[in-house]
Structure 1
Amino acid sequence: MEFTSVAGEQRYAGLVRVASHTVVGLDFDGTLSPIVDDPREAHIHPKAGDVLIDLAAEVATIAVITGRPARQALDLGGLEQVGNAIGDLGKELHVFGQYGNERWSSTRRRVLSPRPPAGLAGFLGDLPRMLRSVGAEDAFLEDKGLAVAVHVRRLADPQAAYDALLPLIRERARRADLVVEPGRFVIEIRSPGMHKGIAVETLTDEVRASGFLFVGDDLGDLEAFEAVAALRASGMSTLLVCSASEEESALVPLADVVVDGPDGVLDLLAEFTADARERRV
């Protein structure tokens, strides 16, 4: 764990003091799960379940806020079982899927989801042509129902493919009234009107939180970082944590703490749990 400033250390200490009224928000890929070539194989870190259950005893609630479909995150993370254990503590686990468009909790036990955006079908029809135009026809397409993600990580030159595709996808998505979400060698196209920052605001209001800790790894988490920064400006205790990598560092300048991937995330959460428990006892 590396604090980016003295203020970051002070914010961590302040959040420990209000741990029992704090919401912990976590991205999935690159935060709880290592980044892998095939997104269907992105299983949660083997230590994550135990760490989250221990953490739940010390905080108000925990939420996984991800671009993945909620059901997919539940399955890859074994989060229903984790939610059962958290429920035994009298606490609740939330999963916000597809940037908040879908929602599941360990008390409701079902995924609530809207209909797919109107322009997505037409975009999907044009996507093969766009891929062929830049020689990226072998990109992996992940149909999420409410969105589609174009993964270029497995191509011969993923950076060149990413750079060539992004402006094409942005222009076509604009005409379909869709939002483009760039990530780590992945470009996601989804409906407008929802993002991770709204999920942060929703949880804060529902829980009546006094603190918010959010951990993310790439540009898809930017709105969540901005929402937490707004809570800080209003006087709330907060901590922003970047799960950094060689591929993506956009969140580093905004973070109070920088950690090394999912291993570093879990070490930080375990340390926060221990510090909160020690202060409570």
Structure 2
Amino acid sequence: MKAILNDPAGAVIGLDFDGTLSPIVPDPAEAVIHPKAPAVLARLGARVRALAVVTGRPPATVLELGPGLADVPGLVILGHYGFERWENGRISAPPPHPGVPRVEAELQLLLDSLGLREVMVEDKGRAVAVHTRRAPDPGAALAALREPLAKLADKHDLVVEPGRFVLELRPPGMDKGQALSLFLTERAARSVLFAGDDLGDLAAFEAVRACGLPGVTVCSGSAEVTALTELADLVVDGPEGVVELLDELASAISAA
């Protein structure tokens, strides 16, 4: 953290969205960014080299669920684990992977065959997520889905990304660690902070460790995931704690 405070103009701040800037909710469509986050990010974005939201969500969805984010200075949204990018009002992306619609077409039949009618399928455009949080036993439903979804993903040249009561089928070749690493190089970062809450953020934590820059990893803590807690430099209390930390960081930079 000292390197960021001493040289904020060289710092890149990377942030997950769900569970980090936005509380986890049963229906992902009803997620909303922490009410204080846009203003705090605007203060911070004006003082650091760049802010990057690195998420499995499409950038357009992040902007919809995060009113005010489009006005945050220096903000870039690396959506779909880095496959899709929003910057300065524009979205750029490669062509969609053909396996995604094929998986989605077969998914409901698979769920019916397993008797899992209370799980929720989320069409993310370039990926498909299966959420078990609404099932009577979310953990058992997740366990029952792991092998069948792995086989379905492999059939269509996709990979499975596990998360908090969710399994996401998405294209291979990119993860949050790769997306963050490429962004750090692009922006010639001199220090980095990354905050996340879920298993998909482990790759970004590893990227911070491997990049050779002064770095800080922050876990948005929860009782559902402990793997990040053990690896983080700092652990805070969910999105509320993340926003408080960023607010304190912005204030400390301003006072320096």
Unmatched runs of 5 consecutive residues or more in structure 1: 1-11, 87-91
Q: Is the 8 A contact 2:54 2:81 kept in 1?
A: yes
Task: Find the residue that maps to 2:136 and give its secondary structure.
Answer: coil
**Shift of residue 85, structure 1, vs aligned partner:** 4.8
Where in structure 2 are there 5+ consecutive unaligned residues?
none
Of 69, 72, 75, which residue of structure 2 is paired with 1:93?
Answer: 75
CA distance in 2, matches of 1:220, 1:179: 12
TM-score by length of 1: 0.87
Distance in 2 of aligned mates of 1:119 and 1:95: 24
CA contact (8 A) 2:41 2:72 kept: no
Aligned counterparts of 2:71 and 2:246: Cα–Cα separation in 1:
20
Shift in Å at residue 206 of structure 1? Answer: 1.8
CA deviations over 1:51-95 (Å, ceiling 9, x no partner): 1011112211111111011100011011xx333252xxxxx2101
Could you tell me the percent identity over the aligned residues?
Answer: 48
Q: SS where residue 111 of structure 1 aligns?
A: strand
Distance in 1 (alpha carbons) for counterparts of 2:105 and 2:30 = 27
Matched, 1:271 2:248: yes
* Residue 85 (structure 2) pairs with residue 103 (structure 1): yes
After TM superposition, give the deviation of residue 200 of structure 1 in Å: 0.8
Q: Is residue 75 of structure 2 the alignment partner of residue 65 of structure 1?
A: no
1:126-275 matched pairs, under 5 angstroms: 126-231=106-211, 234=212, 236-275=213-252
Task: Note closer, same or farther for the CA distance 1:85–1:252 as it changes in structure 2 (3 Å cut).
Answer: closer
- Alignment partner, residue 116 of structure 1: 96
Matched letter for residue 45 of structure 2: A
Q: Is the 8 A contact 2:38 2:72 kept in 1?
A: no
Secondary structure of 1:251's counterpart equals helix
Q: 1:212 to 1:133 in 2, by over 3 A?
A: same
> Residue deviations 1:180-230, cap 9 Å, x none?
000101110000111111221222112111001000000111111111110
Aligned with residue 76 of structure 1, among 65, 68, 71? 65
Q: CA deviation at 1:246?
A: 0.7
**Residue matched to 1:5:** none
CA distance in 2, matches of 1:101, 1:272: 29
Report the residue type matching 2:180 in the other structure: V
Instruction: Find the aligned partners of 2:214 and 2:71 in 1 and give their Cα distance.
Output: 29
Aligned length: 256
Contact 2:63/2:69 (<8 A) preserved: no
Shift of the alpha carbon at 1:124? 1.9
Q: How many Å separate the matches in 2 of 1:123 and 1:85?
A: 36
Change (3 A) 1:85 1:177: closer
